[in-house]
Amino acid sequence: MYAILDIETTGGKYNEEGITEIAIYKFDGQKVVDQFISLVNPEQPIQPFVVNLTGINNDMLRNAPKFYEVAKRIVEITEDCILVAHNAKFDYRILRTEFRRLGFEFERKSLCTVELSKKLIPGLPSYSLGKLVRSLGIPLSDRHRAAGDAQATIKLFKMLLTKDVGKDILKEHVRKEPKRSMDTKLVFILEELPSETGIYYFHDENGEIIYIGKSRNIRKRVNQHFTNENPKSREMQRNVASVSYELTGNELIALLKENQEIKELKPKYNRALKKEIFSHAIYQFTDDDGYVNLKIGRANKAKKNITTFSSLRSAKNSLEKWVTEYELCERLAGLHGGTGNCFAYTIRSCHGACIEEEIPEDYNERVLELINRYSYDNQNMLLIGRGREIDEKSALLIEDGEFKGIGYFNLNHQINNLDIIRSIITPMHNNRDAQHIIQSFLRKKHNFKIIQLSVQE
């Protein structure tokens, strides 16, 4: 037996809302066998936006029964029933809150038709009740009134029961507490966030930062945190009191700021970036015959590298691509062992350095071209990218192979003078992870303009 429910409330602060209207239909899976519909005097004013939404105003409720007067009827009609509601988390929470005020622990199993719909009818653009039933051809009258919404939920639920042929999904979703979706507090937090690129910060009730993240769509990423079911996410959801953010304009600056701030602030729930974020590197050495060789190895602080990678596979894939692009020798690049000519020579993509057919000077010229492109060692350059506003650009400064920091500018003349560039740059740490982030980003397709600088003392 099911108790299909819809509740309208006053709105207001989380867990301080009052019920203004309730509709419960007792449903045996085929037909309604009992019903209870009533306005409720919440003993507090209704928020103006709720009045506009539902049409229920304070005057209408002046003579309506208070919750304690209808509580017994609610207990009776829902006895031995599974509560069914569209966004069951909300309705169940409101009911339990009202009963707790009376000193009574109200507990029922529950089902959420939002979750069931997503499982049984995937791919729809919206699962809000109005848009969902409209897309399914289910009539809905008196929208945002308890009886109208509950009747539409009955018709939707009947359709879902039909679609759930094996009853597997139905069994999975029945539980004492409905599956975790976002409670009101998290919904309000989410509404304030932009769908833009930047850094976001989770704060606890004392304002302390407990998590730092970056995303190309802050709202979408935070929504994933708020709806994730794993233990770490559930714990963060309980502890987060507010979310702040900083727009960066592009992903590279977001990555660099995330890396630096996690290392500096050491938030409670950030663990991944407390260690170095790369494991392998490409090194160079010159052999006895004068050829510059390349070699992949484990990242080593004591050894100077060309560029770093997050995995051995990533390093091999990049090096193989570069050997082809720069027509290098596979053996001198460390991709194949043995003696004699490499396989690339047989298909004429290697010019014969492996058998000294190509002189070191010619071969090394191409190797150094590769190194200069993928390592900014000893280079002076400015990376110009997208800013936070339409008329703004971002700048990332590298001097003498060291990452100096990032800044933003509006006028092109601001980047024609190195002293002005230095003045608009916010200094950042030139650590190994920052170098890895920049090098990795430059290896990919990107929209940054690279300006080589001539630095004069």
The pairs formed by 406-409 with CB atoms below 8 angstroms and a separation of 24 or more are: 406/253, 406/256, 406/257, 408/249
pLDDT digits (tens, 9 = 90+) for 303-320: 888 898 988 999 999 999
Confidence at residue 174, expressed as pLDDT on a 0 to 100 scale: 55
Residue predicted with more confidence, 56 or 140? 56
CB 9 within 8 A of CB 29: no
Give the mean model confidence (pLDDT) for residues 119-123: 86
For the ranges 71-75, 113-117, 370-374, the one whose mean pLDDT is highest: 71-75
Confidence of residue 173 (pLDDT cuts 50, 70, 90): low
Confidence at residue 175, expressed as pLDDT on a 0 to 100 scale: 47
Confidence at residue 432, expressed as pLDDT on a 0 to 100 scale: 85
Give the mean model confidence (pLDDT) for residues 14-37: 90
Confidence at residue 396, expressed as pLDDT on a 0 to 100 scale: 94
CB 353 within 8 A of CB 363: yes
CB 139 within 8 A of CB 152: yes
- Would you say the pTM of this structure is higher than 0.75? no
pLDDT of 364 over the 70 cut:
yes
Residue predicted with more confidence, 397 or 28? 397
Cα first-last separation, the chain = 83
- CA nearest neighbour of 86 among 62, 51, 110, 58: 110
Give the mean model confidence (pLDDT) for residues 368-389: 87
**Interior/surface letters 108-124, b for 16+ CB within 10 angstroms, e for the rest:** bbbbbbbbbbebbbeee
Contacts of 226 (CB under 8 A, 6+ apart): 182, 186, 189, 190, 233, 237
CA distances from 403 to 68, 396, 436 (A): 66, 8, 11
pLDDT of 169 over the 70 cut:
no
